């Protein structure tokens, strides 16, 4: 992805952070206070984002794998880089699997899953093979359409007869305990996932704009996610929203304005395709960069094809139904910080080491 302009970086972060996030109810264990969980998680995400961009300030021309190798040496760096590659690969597999399952559930029920997945993965591989510049340029072109479809669906949901803001009451009805319990999981997804951009910021042409642009896109994404969660709860209520496989689909299908504006599930398909595409492609490319550096592979096209094949194989043979996979993911998140969250915390220790090294060097 050489070179990325600051406008393209803004589009990539916004598309990545929103991705398919608005389709689901986050922090559902906090019930009507789930939007508060997201608000607090966004502020934790700000702290993590500051740490990540601070690392980039010290190593503007290196991605995360290169930074790890510089700081720790190959014996510690190689296993750590491999673990990061596995983390991003698994995230890409989940994005790929979720896309196929939701497309099958919502609109292509009679289409074999391997056809849906095949078309999607070929699109991703093709975009990367013809030149990594294609991805940020495509993001720049598609973001306005993505936001139009998403915001249109949310606005129409608000003015529909099913919207009831009192569903959010009582605020803090169960106290802070459910909110704090749900906070780590929501921090993990989607806000902490921005750690993947430690692999991409080196390609940004205006290095001084990275922090401001990243925080701006991150903030806007957080606001949109909070609004979508408020609307989902206000339309469906906490019970139906928590038990629905794709709550946003239920919200969109409930829109009926004068028997004229209705059956708008095409909006969901557009949101899913564009958001899911960039969510997966960024995780995919992060894994490719980590593995290419780890094994000193100069031809990235070979690694792109290899990782793509592995994503297809893993997703079809190891991932089950969407509700089953969401249950597994939630169970893994409950083991925080011993599972996925650790990859988002390691850069904190990396920054501490960078600062200590600087102090020792200056003495």
Report DSSP state, residue 206.
Answer: -
Closest to 127 (Cα-Cα) out of 341, 285, 309, 296: 285
Q: Is the pLDDT of residue 17 over 50?
A: yes
Whether the Cβ atoms of residue 41 and residue 186 lie closer than 8 Å to each other: yes
State how far the Cα of 265 lies from the Cα of 267, in Å rounded to an integer: 5
Average pLDDT over residues 68-87: 92
Closest to 269 (Cα-Cα) out of 134, 128, 100: 100
DSSP bridge partners of 261: 257
For the chain, give the number of residues: 363
Whether the Cβ atoms of residue 210 and residue 359 lie closer than 8 Å to each other: no
Q: Is the pLDDT of residue 338 over 60?
A: no
Using pLDDT thresholds of 50, 70 and 90, give the confidence band for residue 27. confident
Q: Rounded to 5 degrees, what angle do the CA atoms 261, 265, 326 make?
A: 145
Closest to 192 (Cα-Cα) out of 93, 362, 336, 69: 336
Using pLDDT thresholds of 50, 70 and 90, give the confidence band for residue 231. very high
Q: What is the pLDDT of residue 326?
A: 56
State how far the Cα of 96 lies from the Cα of 22, in Å rounded to an integer: 17
Q: What is the mean pLDDT of the chain?
A: 87
Q: What is the pLDDT of residue 360?
A: 80
Of 208 and 242, more confident: 208
Token pair listed for 201: 């910021």
Whether the Cβ atoms of residue 240 and residue 250 lie closer than 8 Å to each other: yes
Q: What is the pLDDT of residue 293?
A: 95
Q: Is the pLDDT of residue 151 over 70?
A: yes
Average pLDDT over residues 251-279: 82
State how far the Cα of 235 lies from the Cα of 255, in Å rounded to an integer: 10
State how far the Cα of 233 lies from the Cα of 28, in Å rounded to an integer: 10
Using pLDDT thresholds of 50, 70 and 90, give the confidence band for residue 347. very high
Q: Is the pLDDT of residue 5 over 90?
A: yes
Token pair listed for 328: 């597994």
Q: Is the pLDDT of residue 108 over 70?
A: yes
Of 319 and 23, more confident: 23
Whether the Cβ atoms of residue 167 and residue 32 lie closer than 8 Å to each other: yes
Report whether the peptide linkage leading into residue 295 is cis, meaning its omega lies within 30 degrees of zero: no
Choice among 154-168, 290-304, 321-335 with the minimum mean pLDDT: 321-335
Q: Which residues of 109-122 are buried (b: 16+ CB within 10 A; e: fewer)?
A: eeeeeeebbeebbe
The CA-atom distances, in angstroms, between 360 and each of 58, 118, 136, 363 are 15, 52, 39, 5
State how far the Cα of 357 lies from the Cα of 345, in Å rounded to an integer: 19
Average pLDDT over residues 324-340: 53
Average pLDDT over residues 49-67: 95
Q: Rounded to 5 degrees, what angle do the CA atoms 155, 158, 160 make?
A: 110
Of 101 and 228, more confident: 228
* Count of Cβ atoms closer than 10 Å to residue 50 Cβ: 13
pLDDT tens digits along 122-146: 999 999 998 778 999 999 999 999 9
Residue whose entry in the numeric block shows the structure tokens 């292509």: 108
Query: What's this model's pTM, rounded to 2 decimal places?
Result: 0.93
Whether the Cβ atoms of residue 285 and residue 132 lie closer than 8 Å to each other: yes
Q: Is the pLDDT of residue 332 over 80?
A: no
The CA-atom distances, in angstroms, between 109 and each of 23, 101, 166, 310 are 18, 9, 35, 25
DSSP assignments along 19-42, one per residue: TTGGGS-TTGGGGGGHHHHHHHHH
Whether the Cβ atoms of residue 320 and residue 97 lie closer than 8 Å to each other: no
Residue whose entry in the numeric block shows the structure tokens 């220790």: 349
Using pLDDT thresholds of 50, 70 and 90, give the confidence band for residue 77. very high
Q: What is the pLDDT of residue 174?
A: 85
Q: Is the pLDDT of residue 329 over 80?
A: no
Whether the Cβ atoms of residue 304 and residue 129 lie closer than 8 Å to each other: yes
Of 114 and 305, more confident: 305
Q: Is the pLDDT of residue 1 over 60?
A: no
């Amino acid at each position: 992805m050489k070179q990325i302009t600051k406008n393209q970086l803004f589009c990539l972060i916004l598309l990545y952070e929103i991705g398919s996030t608005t389709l689901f109810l986050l922090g559902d264990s906090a019930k009507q206070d789930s939007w508060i969980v997201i608000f607090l998680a966004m502020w934790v995400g700000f702290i993590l984002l500051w740490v990540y961009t601070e690392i980039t300030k010290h190593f503007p021309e290196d991605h995360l794998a290169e930074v790890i190798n510089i700081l720790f040496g190959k014996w510690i760096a190689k296993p750590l880089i491999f673990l990061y590659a596995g983390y991003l690969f698994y995230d890409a597999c989940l994005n790929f699997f979720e896309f196929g399952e939701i497309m099958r559930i919502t609109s292509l029920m009679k289409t074999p899953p391997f056809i849906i997945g095949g078309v999607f993965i070929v699109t991703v591989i093709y975009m990367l093979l013809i030149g990594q510049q294609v991805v940020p340029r495509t993001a720049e072109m598609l973001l306005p359409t993505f936001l139009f479809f998403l915001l249109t669906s949310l606005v129409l949901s608000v003015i529909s007869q099913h919207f009831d803001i009192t569903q959010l009451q009582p605020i803090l009805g169960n106290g802070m305990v459910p909110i704090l319990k749900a906070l780590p999981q929501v921090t993990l997804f989607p806000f902490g996932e921005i750690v993947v951009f430690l692999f991409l910021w080196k390609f940004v042409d205006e290095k001084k704009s990275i922090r401001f642009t990243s925080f701006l896109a991150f903030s806007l994404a957080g606001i949109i996610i909070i609004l979508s969660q408020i609307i989902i709860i206000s339309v469906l209520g906490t019970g139906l929203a928590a038990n629905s496989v794709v709550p946003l689909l239920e919200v969109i299908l409930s829109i009926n304005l004068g028997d004229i504006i209705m059956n708008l599930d095409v909006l969901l398909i557009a949101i899913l395709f564009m958001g899911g595409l960039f969510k997966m492609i960024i995780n995919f490319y992060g894994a490719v960069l980590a593995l290419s550096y780890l094994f000193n592979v100069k031809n990235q096209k070979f690694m792109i094809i290899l990782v793509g094949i592995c994503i297809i194989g893993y997703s079809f043979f190891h991932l089950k139904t969407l509700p089953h996979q969401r249950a597994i993911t939630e169970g893994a998140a409950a083991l925080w910080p011993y599972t996925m969250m650790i990859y988002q915390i390691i850069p904190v220790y990396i920054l501490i080491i960078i600062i200590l090294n600087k102090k020792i060097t200056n003495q």
